[in-house]
Amino acid sequence: MSSSNVLMYFVPVIVTPILTRLYAQEAFGEWGVFSSVIAILGIGMFWGYENAIVKAGDERDARHAGLLCLLTGSTTILLTAAAFALGSAAGLSFFKSFPQPGLLFAYLAVYALYIILYNFCNRQEKYNALALSHVVLGGSQAVLRIIFGLAALAAVNGLILGTTLAQVINVLFILFCLHEFLKASSWKGISLRRIGELFRLNRRFPLYDAPASVMAFAAFQSPTLILSQYFSKADIGCFSIVIQLLLMPMSFIGTAMGKVYYQQLCRAQGDGASIRQVSQKVVDTVTIISVLPMLFLAAGGDYILVKFLGDRWTTAGNVALCLALWSFPTVLSQPLIPLYRTLDRQKNLLAFNALYFIGGVGAITLGCLTTRNLYHILLSFSMVTAVCKFCMFSNLLSLCQLRLRNLNKYVLCLWAVSLALLAFRLAGILSAPGLEAGAAQYTEPLEHAIAQ
């Protein structure tokens, strides 16, 4: 699975400079708002019950857990549709100006089916199928976005349409891979009573796991939504694309490793020695991968980033530097989160993610209310959320009976050098004039001002 992500790691490297020349910054701004909403809804769509598919003791319970996910996912989509209908009827600007609401619900429906099938693949240990699905999704998304960019569609955002259709193609591929399993599985004897029992037995997922995940992704995605009320679509486009680039290491190895890590933890069945052994392997890998984006940017990679994206993206370098501190502990801690689910410590996850949500959203909101400097706002957000994520990482290490002193000393030295370089670079940004919010956001229209 990680090998497939290694391959797909290079797809954005090749495609992104093409897309930034085919699409305007405003298109990336719309995509940033769209992707923020689908990320928040997607992570809480099943109320955490998707984890019950892998954790189920037998295949019969796994099938019931899949149907439970189908019910909770459909409920979430219907509630979202009702919220959009009411918001539009009330004339709320967010709902009226939301880009491509029709594609939003199409994407959510396809994504719900994808997640259910993905977890069945993970339970069946069909890692080749999962690995190829990453290639199918990333490759088809890249090709479709380029095609729609060349076609210069006026009625629809090609970035959003390409992503939605790519998810459809990916679902069809996973259905093909699971064809024999689905054909051999007996779906007779489905019991609504058993679905209700699984709903109660796995209540920790909706009570703690799902709210924790939603808050984590809300803290991650809400800056885009908040900043869009104060800054132009072009500025939001810069912010959105930098976020995607900084999180490449997470999709590169963190997400894939986290899925397999969870499956292996469930197999360990609470054996402390086995949990420590498999956790040590994950920690050894992510401690190196997570620091690479920060080191790259601190050593001058921000200039390469601007050249990579194109001349219209001159502010992206400084935005990336401000967010580098945030990306480091985020990528570091993400793959280890399944440990909370396995050890039934979802309360810890909820507490840390609540702290992350309050701190992150609070820093962005307070920054927007007190300053118009985008760099200062993003830096304060990075500092607050980095502390929260480092605290979570320390707690995760203690749960798997590891300590910071167990980490490779050379890796710790690399962390120190990277942080020192980043602090030096950020000092230069703080002493220079920053990117101010557009004047159009705060002044009245010219005609009204002349009339007054």
pLDDT digits (tens, 9 = 90+) for 212-237: 777 776 776 677 778 877 887 777 77
Report the length, in residues, of the chain. Answer: 452
What sign for the dihedral angle of Cα 232, 242, 259, 211?
Answer: negative
Task: Number of helices (H) and strands (E) in the chain: give both, helices first.
Answer: 24, 0
Question: Closest Cα to residue 135, out of 301, 263, 11?
Answer: 11
Question: Which range among 17-21, 153-157, 244-248 has the greatest average pLDDT?
Answer: 17-21
Using alpha carbons only, how large is the chain's radius of gyration in Å? 22
The helix/strand/coil state of 74 is helix
Tens-place pLDDT, residues 110-152: 999 998 888 888 777 777 888 788 888 888 988 999 998 888 7
Is-contact 244 15, C-beta < 8 A? Answer: no
Sign of the torsion angle spanned by Cα atoms 253, 210, 270, 332: positive
Biggest CA–CA distance in the chain, Å, is: 76
Can you tell me the distance from the alpha carbon of 169 to that of 301, in angstroms, rounded to the nearest whole number? 35
User: Residue 425 pLDDT > 50, yes or no?
Assistant: yes
User: Whole-angstrom Cα distance, residue 249 to residue 279?
Assistant: 18
The C-alpha angle 207, 275, 205, rounded to 5 degrees, equals: 10
Using an 8 Å Cβ cutoff, are 45 and 73 in contact?
A: yes
Strand partners, 436: 373
Give phi and psi for 98, each to the nearest 5: -65, 130
Q: How confident is the model at residue 451 (pLDDT cuts 50, 70, 90)?
A: very low
What is the spatial distance between Cα 434 and Cα 352, in angstroms, rounded to a whole number? 32
Type of residue at 425:
R
Closest CA to 210 of 359, 58, 61, 69: 69
Alpha-carbon span 132 to 309, nearest angstrom: 28
Q: State both tokens at 163.
A: 């992503």
What is the per-residue pLDDT for 441? 38
DSSP type of residue 405: G
User: Look-up: residue for tokens 């699409």?
Assistant: 23
Are 130 and 118 in contact, with CB atoms under 8 Å apart?
Answer: yes
Look up tokens 């570091």; give the residue. Answer: 332
DSSP 8-state code for residue 438: P
- The structure tokens 């118009």 sit at 372
Q: So what's the pLDDT on residue 422? A: 92
Nearest to 438 by CA among 253, 141, 227, 276: 227
Q: Which amino acid is at 452?
A: Q
**Rounded distance between C-alpha atoms, residue 286 and residue 334, angstroms:** 9
Task: Tell me what percent of the residues of the chain surpass a pLDDT of 90.
Answer: 12
Q: pLDDT, tens digit, for every residue of 243-270?
A: 777 766 655 555 667 767 777 787 777 6
Got the DSSP string for 326-386?
A: HHHHHHHHGGGTHHHHHTT-HHHHHHHHHHHHHHHHHHHHHHHHH--BHHHHHHHHHHHHH
DSSP string over 208-254 = IIHHHHHHHHHHHHHHHHHHTTTS-HHHHHHHHHHHHHHTHHIIIII
pLDDT digits (tens, 9 = 90+) for 338-395: 888 788 787 888 888 889 889 988 998 898 888 878 888 889 999 999 999 999 999 9
What pLDDT score was predicted for residue 395? Answer: 92
